Amino acid sequence: MDVADQLVRAAAAGDVTSVARQLERGAAVDAPDSRGRTALDVAAGQGHAGVVRLLVDAGADPEQRAGEYKESTPLCLAAIRGHTAVVGALLDAGARTGAQGRMGFVPLVLAATAGNAGYPETVDLLLDRGADVDAVMKHKSAVDWAAGFGQDRMVRRLLSRGATLTARLRP
């Protein structure tokens, strides 16, 4: 197993000590493993906030392409899984909140609509840190998507934070 594979494996396990050791031994912080994934990519997606902080402190690019097909970013991976602490760490590292990745994903839309009810704490953090409540992904904002999915609590939360439903979705 090469150095990049070891680093990514330690990051996937959430092993801060092992990640630090690999970096001290000279592992390149953004080097992809044999599957094309980076340590930040997998740590963000799996919710390992301590590892994410260590990696960005070591120079990992918080806006690197991430995901199995490089279609996303670490922030989007964390947002869609409701990993609020990871979202905070990436925002602290300078990750943008607007549309990103090859697919133009909007972290707020992902956090608001993932799962059965979205992730309210992640949504609040993104909004508190400057995300545009009316940012659009595929021609719809987070509140439009949540309304379309029947996520009434999230719709109320977003409306209370200043979101505006589009005309065609209003009752």
Task: Tell me the C-alpha distance between 90 and 163, whole Å.
Answer: 24
Q: Is the pLDDT of residue 84 over 60?
A: yes
Q: Is the pLDDT of residue 170 over 60?
A: no
Question: For 17-63, how does the pLDDT look when each residue is reduced to its tens digit (9 = 90+)?
Answer: 999 999 999 999 999 999 999 999 999 999 999 999 999 999 999 99
What residue ranges define each of the domains in the chain, with the CATH number in brackets? 1-96 (1.25.40.20), 106-171 (1.25.40.20)
Residue 165: predicted pLDDT: 87
Task: Tell me the C-alpha distance between 15 and 37, whole Å.
Answer: 17
The kind and range of the H/E element at 86 are: helix 84-92
What is the dihedral sign for C-alpha 149, 141, 95, 31? positive
